[in-house]
C-alpha cells in the first residue's frame, strides 16, 4: 500500500509478521507495572478469570513508543518529492503535519490491528 503525502510517498507492508507483532507488544508491555497482589492473582487465575486492572499501570510513553515501533516496522520505504529515499526516524514522523501524521498512523493502525489471512484457520 502506498500513501501519497504533500512531500512524500510512503510505502507500507500489507500485514505484520509474527515477529513484528511481538516487537510491538514488547515495547508496549515493557513499562507495565503490576503490584505484588495483582501478580499473585494473575498467576493463580484461569484464562477467563477477571483481573482488577486498578492494580496495574502503564507508562503513557510506552503507548506512543509502541505506535512509533509499529510505524517503523510497517513503513517499508519513504520517497521524497525529489525522488530520494528517506530513512524512517521518529523525527521524520514527528515532523509531519498533524493531518499527514494522522493519515500515516491511521494506515499503520489499520495494518497493525488487522488479522493475518492465516489467523483463525
Span of 1-5, 43-47, 74-78, 106-110 with lowest mean pLDDT: 43-47
Q: If you average pLDDT over residues 96-113, what whole number do you get? A: 96
Report which of residues 37 and 116 the model is more confident about.
Answer: 37
Whether 72 has a pLDDT exceeding 50, the answer reads yes
Distance CA 110, CA 38 (A): 32
The per-residue pLDDT for range 14-49, each reduced to its tens digit, is 999 999 999 998 888 877 766 666 666 666 666 665
Span of 2-16, 22-36, 61-75, 95-109 with lowest mean pLDDT: 22-36
Please state whether the predicted TM-score (pTM) of the whole model is above 0.85. no
For residue 121, name the pLDDT band (cuts at 50, 70, 90): very low
Distance CA 102, CA 83 (A): 23
Q: If you average pLDDT over residues 47-60, what whole number do you get? A: 63
The answer for residues whose C-beta is within 8 angstroms of residue 106's C-beta and 6 or more apart is none
Residue 106: predicted pLDDT: 97
Amino acid at each position: 500500500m502506498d500513501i501519497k503525502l504533500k512531500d512524500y510517498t510512503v510505502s507500507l507492508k500489507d500485514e505484520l509478521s509474527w515477529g513484528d507483532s511481538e516487537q510491538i507488544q514488547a515495547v508496549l508491555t515493557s513499562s507495565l507495572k503490576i503490584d505484588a497482589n495483582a501478580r499473585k492473582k494473575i498467576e493463580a487465575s484461569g484464562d477467563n478469570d477477571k483481573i482488577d486492572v486498578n492494580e496495574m499501570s502503564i507508562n503513557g510513553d510506552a503507548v506512543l513508543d509502541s505506535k512509533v515501533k509499529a510505524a517503523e516496522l510497517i513503513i517499508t520505504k519513504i520517497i521524497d518529492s525529489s525522488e530520494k529515499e528517506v530513512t524512517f526516524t521518529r523525527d521524520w514522523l514527528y515532523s509531519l503535519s498533524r493531518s499527514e501524521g494522522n493519515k500515516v498512523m491511521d494506515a499503520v493502525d489499520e495494518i497493525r490491528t488487522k488479522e493475518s489471512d492465516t489467523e483463525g484457520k
